[in-house]
Each structure stands twice: as structure tokens, then as C-alpha cells.
């Protein structure tokens, strides 16, 4: 709803001059001005410019409610002469319009800003609600997926536990020597000093293989003793101590623990490598393939990771 400001300053010499020009009372002149201003609120801009309006249009506006003795066109001319209306090259202006009605335009602008602020706030709120709904949906999907993964993991764990149990039973059966045969006394001597008592059956196989390669029981026992001593000095944790089969593997890592017999051990190791590792030409680069003991490599990697941490 539009409104206008009527200040007491309006009852000045200009109003009296207008009343004299029209030969009417000041109240009639003021009423005509108020009528004109009410129309101006909807038709003039903040600077008072009345776009697309001529004197006849204003005469039609002020004609309503004025005395029959007052000619509307003469009333417009009188308003121009008394400077209530300015007639400039680009059109008609209401004189000092922003000064008289600036509060109205300020209120309109505040209303527009408030309207825009509320619109943005509603948009932000709606966006937040959509984001919350999206987040809830994602969380629900994650929860469902997590529940599914937990269920699958549980089933896999149960299956793994079962397989581990079965493997352990098979290993125990496999490592148990056949009745009447058992382990040799020299291997038992070796095993008694070796620092990790796991995988005895596999270690026994590697032990016999090294004996066949030309290593003596005393050398193998000496290597085991020296290795056990090193593990004790360095406080090596159990999980980083080699399995017996890895210590006695084809790559002969035990030779590092033969002490004064190391030179001879290296010579034997070289001879053994020539015997059991034939030079396999790959047909492209003519390089010699090498067999690796992956259990041994795994133990070395775990130890390096532990030392670096």
C-alpha cells in the first residue's frame, strides 16, 4: 500500500502563491497537491521524473475533486509557475520529489532487499534440506553396504578359520613322521638348538637335501647355533625368526652363520648353485634365471619393516 509524506513545511510561501494563482483557499491548493502526489507515487521515479506524461495528463489528475471555478489546465500552469512542477527538456518532473517522498522510496528498497533476503534464505534452507536428504540417502546406502560387507567378512572369516583348522590338521598329519622311521639323531641335534620350533617336518626335508648336497651335520648345527645366538643378542621377535625350512632353503642362507668356515661354505654354496640351478636361457636376453625362497624373502621384508618403524 502506497503512502506519501506531507510535511508542515509544505504550508509555505509556495503554497500561498499557488492558492493566489488559482484564486482558491490554501486548503484547496493543498488538497490538489496531495492528490497530485498520490498519483506521482505510482508514476514518478525517485528523482521525480514522470515518464511519458504531458500537461494534459496531469490536468486530468488534478481535475478530480477541485472546484468548478478552477480550470485544470490553468492549475497545471500555475503549479509550474510556482515551482511545484518542473518543465525540463526531457520531460516533466515533480519538484524536490526525493526530498518530500524519499522515505517512501527508502521503504520500498528496504522491502525489496528484505524480500530478496528472505527468498535467498528460503532457497538456502531448501538446498540444505536437499543436501540433508542426499546425505541421509548416502549414509543409508553406506550402512547397508557396510552391513553386507560385515556379513560377507564374517562368512569369509568363518570359512578362513575352518580352512586354517583343516590346514593345521593336514600339516600336523604331514609333519608327523611315518611310524617306525622318525627323525635322524643328527637332525634332532640340529633342531634342539634351532631358535624357532615350527614346521619340523618341512625343515627335516630341507635338512636331508642339504646333507645330500655335501653339507655335514656339524656345519648345519653350527649355523643353527650361531643364528640362535644372533637372535638372542639382537632380541629378534619370534615372528621375524626364519622357519627351519627357510633357513635350510636351496639359496643356503645358513652359510652366513658358519663363522670360520664361511669361505669354504661360500665355495660349497657356489658349487651347489651350479649343480641345482641350471642356467636357463629365456631365449631373449640370455640371462640366468634364479630360484627364490619366498618364505625367506617374506621374513626379511617383515624384519626390515619392523626395524624402519
Name the DSSP class of 178. Answer: P
Alpha helices in the chain (DSSP H): 13-22, 26-43, 55-63, 72-81, 97-175, 185-193, 200-212, 217-233, 244-247, 262-276, 294-308
Residues 6+ apart with CB under 8 A from 166: none
* 219 touches 252 (CB < 8 A): no
**Alpha-carbon gap, residue 137 to 258, rounded angstroms:** 66
* 101 touches 55 (CB < 8 A): no
Reduced to 3 states (helix: H, G, I; strand: E, B; else coil), residue 2 is coil
Residues 6+ apart with CB under 8 A from 59: 72, 73, 75, 76
pLDDT on residue 42? 83
> What are phi and psi for residue 18, nearest 5 degrees?
-65, -40
**Alpha-carbon gap, residue 253 to 245, rounded angstroms:** 11
pLDDT on residue 264? 46
Q: In this predicted model, what pLDDT tens digit does every residue of 64-93 receive, in sequence order?
A: 777 788 888 998 998 899 888 898 888 899
pLDDT on residue 287? 44
* 10 touches 37 (CB < 8 A): no
**Alpha-carbon gap, residue 279 to 287, rounded angstroms:** 8
Closest CA to 29 of 57, 6, 62: 62
Q: In this predicted model, what pLDDT tens digit does every residue of 131-143 receive, in sequence order?
A: 999 999 999 889 8
**Alpha-carbon gap, residue 127 to 200, rounded angstroms:** 68
Residues 6+ apart with CB under 8 A from 281: 287
Distance of CA 3 to the CA centre of its chain: 54
Tell me what the pLDDT averaged over the chain comes to.
Answer: 80
* 54 touches 40 (CB < 8 A): no
pLDDT on residue 281? 46
* 248 touches 209 (CB < 8 A): yes
Between the alpha carbon of residue 75 and those of residues 10, 26, 216, the distances in Å are 18, 13, 136
Closest CA to 233 of 259, 191, 195: 195
pLDDT band at 226 (very low <50, low <70, confident <90, very high): very high
Reduced to 3 states (helix: H, G, I; strand: E, B; else coil), residue 235 is coil
Residue 7 region, left (φ>0) first, then alpha (ψ -120 to 50), else beta? Answer: beta
**Burial of 142 from C-beta contacts in 10 A (0-12 / 13-18 / 19+):** exposed
Q: In this predicted model, what pLDDT tens digit does every residue of 255-301 receive, in sequence order?
A: 999 975 444 445 545 544 555 454 444 444 444 445 556 666 777 77
**Alpha-carbon gap, residue 288 to 279, rounded angstroms:** 5
Reduced to 3 states (helix: H, G, I; strand: E, B; else coil), residue 87 is strand
**Alpha-carbon gap, residue 285 to 272, rounded angstroms:** 24
pLDDT on residue 263? 47
Q: Which residue has the higher pLDDT, 270 or 306?
A: 306
pLDDT on residue 168? 59
Amino acid at each position: 500500500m502506497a503512502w506519501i509524506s506531507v510535511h508542515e513545511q509544505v504550508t509555505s510561501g509556495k503554497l500561498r502563491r499557488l492558492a493566489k494563482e488559482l484564486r482558491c483557499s490554501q486548503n484547496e491548493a493543498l488538497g490538489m497537491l496531495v492528490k497530485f502526489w498520490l498519483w506521482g507515487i505510482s508514476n514518478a521515479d525517485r528523482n521525480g521524473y514522470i515518464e511519458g506524461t504531458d500537461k494534459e495528463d496531469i490536468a486530468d489528475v488534478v481535475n478530480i475533486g477541485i472546484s468548478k471555478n478552477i480550470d485544470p489546465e490553468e492549475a497545471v500552469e500555475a503549479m509550474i509557475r510556482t515551482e511545484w512542477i518542473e518543465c525540463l527538456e526531457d520531460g516533466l518532473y515533480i519538484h524536490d520529489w526525493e526530498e518530500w517522498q524519499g522515505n517512501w522510496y527508502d521503504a520500498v528498497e528496504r522491502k525489496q532487499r528484505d524480500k530478496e533476503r528472505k527468498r535467498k534464505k528460503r532457497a538456502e534452507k531448501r538446498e540444505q534440506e536437499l543436501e540433508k536428504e542426499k546425505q541421509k540417502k548416502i549414509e543409508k546406502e553406506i550402512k547397508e553396504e557396510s552391513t553386507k560387507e560385515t556379513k560377507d567378512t564374517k562368512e569369509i572369516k568363518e570359512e578362513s578359520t575352518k580352512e586354517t583348522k583343516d590346514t593345521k590338521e593336514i600339516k600336523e598329519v604331514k609333519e608327523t613322521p611315518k611310524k617306525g622311521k622318525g627323525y635322524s639323531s643328527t637332525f634332532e641335534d640340529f633342531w634342539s638348538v634351532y631358535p624357532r620350533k615350527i614346521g619340523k617336518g618341512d625343515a627335516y626335508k630341507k635338512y636331508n637335501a642339504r646333507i645330500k648336497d655335501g653339507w655335514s651335520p656339524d656345519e648345519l648345527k653350527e649355523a643353527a647355533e650361531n643364528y640362535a645366538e644372533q637372535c638372542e643378542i639382537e632380541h629378534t621377535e619370534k615372528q621375524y625368526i626364519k622357519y627351519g625350512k627357510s633357513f635350510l632353503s636351496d639359496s643356503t642362507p645358513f652359510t652366513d652363520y658358519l663363522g670360520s668356515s664361511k669361505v669354504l661354505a661360500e665355495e660349497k654354496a657356489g658349487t651347489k648353485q651350479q649343480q641345482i640351478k641350471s642356467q636357463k636361457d629365456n631365449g631373449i636376453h640370455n640371462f640366468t634365471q634364479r630360484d627364490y625362497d619366498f618364505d625367506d624373502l617374506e621374513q626379511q621384508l617383515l624384519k626390515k619393516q619392523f626395524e624402519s618403524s
